[in-house]
Protein backbone atom coordinates (compact mmCIF):
# COMPACT_ATOMS: atom_id res chain seq x y z
CA UNK A 1 0.00 0.00 0.00
CA UNK A 2 3.05 2.27 0.21
CA UNK A 3 2.88 5.20 -2.20
CA UNK A 4 -0.75 6.00 -1.40
CA UNK A 5 -1.82 9.44 -0.22
CA UNK A 6 -3.49 9.61 3.19
CA UNK A 7 -5.38 12.68 4.43
CA UNK A 8 -4.42 13.31 8.06
CA UNK A 9 -7.09 15.55 9.55
CA UNK A 10 -5.61 17.28 12.58
CA UNK A 11 -2.17 16.24 11.38
CA UNK A 12 -0.44 19.27 12.92
CA UNK A 13 -1.31 18.14 16.43
CA UNK A 14 0.52 15.87 18.84
CA UNK A 15 -0.52 12.38 17.75
CA UNK A 16 -1.35 13.41 14.19
CA UNK A 17 2.13 14.78 13.51
CA UNK A 18 3.84 11.65 14.85
CA UNK A 19 1.56 9.59 12.62
CA UNK A 20 2.58 11.70 9.61
CA UNK A 21 6.20 10.93 10.47
CA UNK A 22 5.43 7.20 10.58
CA UNK A 23 3.42 7.32 7.36
CA UNK A 24 6.30 9.02 5.55
CA UNK A 25 8.80 6.52 6.94
CA UNK A 26 6.65 3.72 5.52
CA UNK A 27 6.36 5.23 2.04
CA UNK A 28 2.99 7.02 2.22
CA UNK A 29 2.33 10.67 1.40
CA UNK A 30 0.60 12.32 4.37
CA UNK A 31 -1.46 15.41 3.54
CA UNK A 32 -2.24 17.47 6.64
CA UNK A 33 -5.65 19.14 6.93
CA UNK A 34 -5.74 21.39 10.00
CA UNK A 35 -7.20 24.70 11.13
CA UNK A 36 -4.12 25.25 13.36
CA UNK A 37 -6.21 26.24 16.36
CA UNK A 38 -4.33 23.65 18.44
CA UNK A 39 -1.90 22.21 15.90
CA UNK A 40 1.47 23.69 15.00
CA UNK A 41 2.65 24.66 11.56
CA UNK A 42 6.17 23.70 12.66
CA UNK A 43 4.97 20.10 12.98
CA UNK A 44 4.03 19.78 9.29
CA UNK A 45 7.27 18.32 7.97
CA UNK A 46 6.50 15.19 5.99
CA UNK A 47 3.96 16.27 3.37
CA UNK A 48 1.83 19.16 2.16
CA UNK A 49 -0.48 21.16 4.42
CA UNK A 50 -3.99 22.33 3.63
CA UNK A 51 -5.55 24.82 6.03
CA UNK A 52 -9.23 24.35 6.75
CA UNK A 53 -11.89 23.41 9.24
CA UNK A 54 -13.74 20.08 9.32
CA UNK A 55 -17.04 21.97 9.52
CA UNK A 56 -16.32 23.61 6.12
CA UNK A 57 -17.74 21.17 3.58
CA UNK A 58 -16.69 23.20 0.53
CA UNK A 59 -13.07 23.32 1.70
CA UNK A 60 -13.09 19.59 2.44
CA UNK A 61 -14.46 18.83 -1.03
CA UNK A 62 -11.75 21.00 -2.59
CA UNK A 63 -8.91 19.29 -0.71
CA UNK A 64 -10.22 15.78 -1.35
CA UNK A 65 -10.58 16.48 -5.07
CA UNK A 66 -7.06 17.91 -5.21
CA UNK A 67 -5.19 15.11 -3.38
CA UNK A 68 -7.47 12.07 -3.94
CA UNK A 69 -6.45 10.25 -0.74
CA UNK A 70 -6.97 6.52 -0.41
CA UNK A 71 -7.87 6.84 3.28
CA UNK A 72 -8.57 9.42 5.99
CA UNK A 73 -7.07 9.54 9.47
CA UNK A 74 -9.18 11.76 11.75
CA UNK A 75 -7.47 13.37 14.77
CA UNK A 76 -9.16 16.80 14.73
CA UNK A 77 -11.00 17.10 18.02
CA UNK A 78 -11.29 19.18 21.14
CA UNK A 79 -9.92 16.91 23.87
CA UNK A 80 -9.79 18.57 27.29
CA UNK A 81 -12.33 17.02 29.64
CA UNK A 82 -12.56 20.09 31.89
CA UNK A 83 -13.21 22.37 28.93
CA UNK A 84 -15.92 20.03 27.68
CA UNK A 85 -17.80 20.56 30.94
CA UNK A 86 -17.40 24.35 30.70
CA UNK A 87 -18.33 24.61 27.02
CA UNK A 88 -20.06 21.45 25.78
CA UNK A 89 -21.50 23.24 22.74
CA UNK A 90 -18.04 23.76 21.27
CA UNK A 91 -17.29 20.05 21.68
CA UNK A 92 -20.52 18.98 20.00
CA UNK A 93 -20.02 21.46 17.15
CA UNK A 94 -16.44 20.37 16.44
CA UNK A 95 -16.29 16.73 17.48
CA UNK A 96 -19.75 15.65 16.30
CA UNK A 97 -20.94 18.07 13.63
CA UNK A 98 -17.42 18.47 12.24
CA UNK A 99 -16.90 14.72 12.00
CA UNK A 100 -20.27 14.15 10.32
CA UNK A 101 -19.37 16.85 7.79
CA UNK A 102 -16.03 15.13 7.17
CA UNK A 103 -17.76 11.77 6.72
CA UNK A 104 -20.20 13.23 4.19
CA UNK A 105 -17.30 14.70 2.21
CA UNK A 106 -15.45 11.38 2.35
CA UNK A 107 -18.50 9.53 1.03
CA UNK A 108 -18.98 12.02 -1.80
CA UNK A 109 -15.32 11.56 -2.75
CA UNK A 110 -15.66 7.78 -2.81
CA UNK A 111 -13.41 7.19 0.20
CA UNK A 112 -14.47 4.25 2.35
CA UNK A 113 -11.43 3.77 4.60
CA UNK A 114 -11.61 5.91 7.75
CA UNK A 115 -9.53 5.70 10.93
CA UNK A 116 -11.01 7.51 13.93
CA UNK A 117 -9.13 8.81 16.95
CA UNK A 118 -11.32 7.83 19.89
CA UNK A 119 -10.66 7.41 23.59
CA UNK A 120 -11.02 5.12 26.59
CA UNK A 121 -13.19 7.93 28.02
CA UNK A 122 -16.09 6.35 26.09
CA UNK A 123 -16.09 3.55 28.68
CA UNK A 124 -16.77 5.85 31.61
CA UNK A 125 -16.05 4.48 35.07
CA UNK A 126 -14.47 1.03 34.73
CA UNK A 127 -16.50 -1.95 35.89
CA UNK A 128 -13.51 -4.27 35.48
CA UNK A 129 -9.80 -3.88 34.77
CA UNK A 130 -8.11 -4.26 32.36
CA UNK A 131 -10.76 -2.87 30.01
CA UNK A 132 -11.48 -4.72 26.79
CA UNK A 133 -13.61 -3.61 23.87
CA UNK A 134 -16.72 -5.39 25.21
CA UNK A 135 -16.79 -3.19 28.32
CA UNK A 136 -19.98 -1.11 28.48
CA UNK A 137 -19.69 2.44 27.14
CA UNK A 138 -21.19 4.99 29.51
CA UNK A 139 -19.10 8.18 29.18
CA UNK A 140 -19.32 10.59 32.10
CA UNK A 141 -18.44 13.92 30.44
CA UNK A 142 -19.25 15.77 27.20
CA UNK A 143 -15.84 14.96 25.70
CA UNK A 144 -16.37 11.22 26.09
CA UNK A 145 -19.96 11.47 24.89
CA UNK A 146 -18.99 13.29 21.68
CA UNK A 147 -16.51 10.53 20.86
CA UNK A 148 -19.07 7.84 21.66
CA UNK A 149 -21.66 9.50 19.40
CA UNK A 150 -19.19 9.43 16.51
CA UNK A 151 -18.43 5.76 17.19
CA UNK A 152 -22.17 5.02 16.94
CA UNK A 153 -22.42 7.03 13.71
CA UNK A 154 -19.50 5.10 12.21
CA UNK A 155 -21.26 1.81 13.00
CA UNK A 156 -24.29 3.06 11.06
CA UNK A 157 -22.16 4.34 8.17
CA UNK A 158 -20.60 0.88 7.98
CA UNK A 159 -23.92 -0.95 8.03
CA UNK A 160 -25.89 1.32 5.73
CA UNK A 161 -23.35 3.23 3.63
CA UNK A 162 -20.43 0.75 3.28
CA UNK A 163 -17.92 3.13 4.86
CA UNK A 164 -15.45 0.95 6.77
CA UNK A 165 -13.67 2.33 9.79
CA UNK A 166 -11.19 1.48 12.51
CA UNK A 167 -12.00 3.13 15.84
CA UNK A 168 -8.91 3.45 18.03
CA UNK A 169 -9.56 4.03 21.72
CA UNK A 170 -6.43 5.57 23.25
CA UNK A 171 -5.38 5.30 26.82
CA UNK A 172 -2.65 7.80 27.92
CA UNK A 173 -0.58 9.03 25.00
CA UNK A 174 2.90 10.15 26.02
CA UNK A 175 6.49 10.59 24.85
CA UNK A 176 7.98 12.17 21.75
CA UNK A 177 9.95 11.54 18.58
CA UNK A 178 13.37 10.25 19.69
CA UNK A 179 15.14 12.67 17.34
CA UNK A 180 13.45 15.62 19.03
CA UNK A 181 11.79 16.97 15.91
CA UNK A 182 8.26 16.98 17.32
CA UNK A 183 6.72 16.29 20.72
CA UNK A 184 3.88 17.08 23.10
CA UNK A 185 2.94 20.76 22.96
CA UNK A 186 -0.47 21.77 24.28
CA UNK A 187 -1.63 25.23 25.30
CA UNK A 188 -2.49 25.08 28.13
CA UNK A 189 -0.85 21.81 29.14
CA UNK A 190 -2.91 19.45 31.30
CA UNK A 191 -1.16 16.08 30.88
CA UNK A 192 0.80 14.56 33.75
CA UNK A 193 4.17 13.83 32.16
CA UNK A 194 4.81 17.27 30.60
CA UNK A 195 3.54 19.00 33.74
CA UNK A 196 5.88 16.99 35.94
CA UNK A 197 8.80 17.55 33.57
CA UNK A 198 8.12 21.28 33.60
CA UNK A 199 8.23 21.11 37.41
CA UNK A 200 11.58 19.33 37.26
CA UNK A 201 12.83 21.99 34.83
CA UNK A 202 11.71 24.77 37.19
CA UNK A 203 9.14 26.09 34.72
CA UNK A 204 6.28 25.61 37.17
CA UNK A 205 6.00 25.44 40.93
CA UNK A 206 5.77 21.75 41.65
CA UNK A 207 3.24 19.09 40.73
CA UNK A 208 -0.20 18.43 42.23
CA UNK A 209 -1.45 14.88 42.75
CA UNK A 210 -5.23 14.53 42.89
CA UNK A 211 -6.01 11.91 45.49
CA UNK A 212 -3.76 9.66 47.56
CA UNK A 213 -6.36 7.41 49.17
CA UNK A 214 -7.54 5.29 46.25
CA UNK A 215 -7.67 1.49 46.48
CA UNK A 216 -4.46 1.08 44.50
CA UNK A 217 -1.02 -0.20 45.51
CA UNK A 218 0.14 3.22 46.74
CA UNK A 219 -3.11 5.18 46.97
CA UNK A 220 -2.67 7.16 43.74
CA UNK A 221 -4.43 6.65 40.41
CA UNK A 222 -3.18 4.04 37.94
CA UNK A 223 -2.88 4.85 34.24
CA UNK A 224 -1.69 3.07 31.10
CA UNK A 225 0.95 5.21 29.34
CA UNK A 226 1.52 4.42 25.67
CA UNK A 227 4.30 5.94 23.56
CA UNK A 228 3.01 8.26 20.85
CA UNK A 229 5.14 6.43 18.26
CA UNK A 230 3.43 3.16 19.18
CA UNK A 231 0.11 4.95 18.65
CA UNK A 232 1.33 6.22 15.28
CA UNK A 233 2.33 2.70 14.26
CA UNK A 234 -1.16 1.42 15.13
CA UNK A 235 -2.74 4.11 12.93
CA UNK A 236 -0.64 3.21 9.93
CA UNK A 237 -1.44 -0.47 10.48
CA UNK A 238 -5.13 0.46 10.65
CA UNK A 239 -4.89 2.24 7.28
CA UNK A 240 -3.20 -0.79 5.73
CA UNK A 241 -5.82 -3.10 7.26
CA UNK A 242 -8.67 -1.10 5.70
CA UNK A 243 -6.98 -0.71 2.32
CA UNK A 244 -6.63 -4.49 2.19
CA UNK A 245 -10.38 -4.83 2.71
CA UNK A 246 -10.58 -5.24 6.51
CA UNK A 247 -13.94 -4.98 8.24
CA UNK A 248 -14.90 -2.18 10.62
CA UNK A 249 -13.56 -2.71 14.12
CA UNK A 250 -12.95 -0.88 17.41
CA UNK A 251 -9.62 -1.43 19.19
CA UNK A 252 -7.99 -0.39 22.45
CA UNK A 253 -4.51 1.14 22.25
CA UNK A 254 -2.58 0.76 25.49
CA UNK A 255 0.31 -1.29 26.84
CA UNK A 256 -1.69 -3.36 29.31
CA UNK A 257 0.63 -2.16 32.09
CA UNK A 258 -0.54 0.24 34.77
CA UNK A 259 1.64 2.90 36.42
CA UNK A 260 0.62 4.82 39.54
CA UNK A 261 1.09 8.57 39.74
CA UNK A 262 3.73 8.08 42.46
CA UNK A 263 5.60 5.60 40.27
CA UNK A 264 5.40 7.99 37.34
CA UNK A 265 6.84 10.89 39.35
CA UNK A 266 9.61 8.65 40.68
CA UNK A 267 10.52 7.60 37.14
CA UNK A 268 10.66 11.24 36.01
CA UNK A 269 12.96 12.11 38.91
CA UNK A 270 15.19 9.16 37.97
CA UNK A 271 15.48 10.29 34.35
CA UNK A 272 15.89 14.00 35.11
CA UNK A 273 17.94 13.65 38.30
CA UNK A 274 16.04 16.72 39.45
CA UNK A 275 13.73 16.34 42.46
CA UNK A 276 10.73 18.67 42.44
CA UNK A 277 7.98 19.59 44.92
CA UNK A 278 4.91 17.34 44.94
CA UNK A 279 1.66 18.35 46.66
CA UNK A 280 -1.05 15.81 47.46
CA UNK A 281 -4.54 17.28 47.37
CA UNK A 282 -8.10 15.91 47.26
CA UNK A 283 -9.56 13.67 44.60
CA UNK A 284 -10.69 15.22 41.33
CA UNK A 285 -14.31 14.66 40.36
CA UNK A 286 -14.76 12.08 37.61
CA UNK A 287 -11.32 10.47 37.92
CA UNK A 288 -11.24 6.69 37.73
CA UNK A 289 -8.77 5.07 40.10
CA UNK A 290 -7.50 2.62 37.45
CA UNK A 291 -7.52 2.76 33.64
CA UNK A 292 -5.53 -0.02 31.97
CA UNK A 293 -6.11 -1.50 28.52
CA UNK A 294 -6.58 -5.04 27.41
CA UNK A 295 -4.89 -4.74 24.00
CA UNK A 296 -5.27 -8.34 22.82
CA UNK A 297 -7.67 -7.41 20.03
CA UNK A 298 -5.31 -4.83 18.50
CA UNK A 299 -2.57 -7.47 18.52
CA UNK A 300 -4.87 -10.00 16.83
CA UNK A 301 -6.39 -7.68 14.22
CA UNK A 302 -3.45 -5.41 13.36
CA UNK A 303 -0.46 -7.44 14.52
CA UNK A 304 0.35 -4.43 16.69
CA UNK A 305 2.67 -4.79 19.67
CA UNK A 306 3.85 -1.72 21.66
CA UNK A 307 7.61 -1.32 21.41
CA UNK A 308 8.43 1.26 24.08
CA UNK A 309 8.31 1.08 27.87
CA UNK A 310 7.80 3.78 30.48
CA UNK A 311 11.50 4.67 30.75
CA UNK A 312 11.68 5.27 26.98
CA UNK A 313 8.48 7.32 27.11
CA UNK A 314 9.91 9.56 29.82
CA UNK A 315 13.37 9.80 28.28
CA UNK A 316 11.97 10.92 24.92
CA UNK A 317 9.58 13.37 26.60
CA UNK A 318 12.36 14.77 28.79
CA UNK A 319 14.63 15.32 25.79
CA UNK A 320 11.86 17.09 23.89
CA UNK A 321 10.77 19.39 26.71
CA UNK A 322 14.28 20.13 27.94
CA UNK A 323 15.88 20.84 24.56
CA UNK A 324 13.27 21.46 21.92
CA UNK A 325 10.07 22.88 23.34
CA UNK A 326 10.80 26.34 24.68
CA UNK A 327 7.23 27.60 24.29
Q: Which of 123, 143, 214, 225 is catalytic?
A: 143
Q: Which of 171, 191, 180, 63 is nearest to 126 (CA)?
A: 171
Compute the distance between CA of residue 34 and CA of residue 50 in angstroms, rounded to an integer. 7
Task: Count Cβ atoms below 10 Å from residue 308 Cβ, excluding itself.
Answer: 19
Q: Which of 319, 40, 43 is nearest to 201 (CA)?
A: 319
Helix count (H) and strand count (E) of the chain? 11, 14
DSSP letter, residue 93 = I
Compute the distance between CA of residue 33 and CA of residue 35 in angstroms, rounded to an integer. 7
End-to-end alpha-carbon separation of the chain, Å?
Answer: 37
Assess contact for 239 and 71: CB atoms under 8 A.
yes
Write phi, then psi, for 302 (nearest 5 degrees). -105, -10
- Report the SS3 class of residue 86: helix
Assess contact for 278 and 227: CB atoms under 8 A.
no
Q: Would residue 143 show up in a list of annotated catalytic residues for this protein? A: yes
Beta bridge partners of 49: 32
| Sequence-ordered alpha helix ranges (H) in 120-227 | 142-161, 192-200
Assess contact for 221 and 260: CB atoms under 8 A.
yes
Residue numbers annotated as active site: 143
Amino acid sequence: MAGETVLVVGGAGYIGSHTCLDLANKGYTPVVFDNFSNGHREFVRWGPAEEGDIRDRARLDEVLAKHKPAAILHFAALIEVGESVKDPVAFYENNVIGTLTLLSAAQAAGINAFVFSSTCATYGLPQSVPLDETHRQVPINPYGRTKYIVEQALADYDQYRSLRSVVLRYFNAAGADFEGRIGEWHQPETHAIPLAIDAALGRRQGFKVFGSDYETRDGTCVRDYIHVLDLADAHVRAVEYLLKGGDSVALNLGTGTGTTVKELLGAIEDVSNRPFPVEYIGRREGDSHTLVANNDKARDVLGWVPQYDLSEIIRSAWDWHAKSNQH
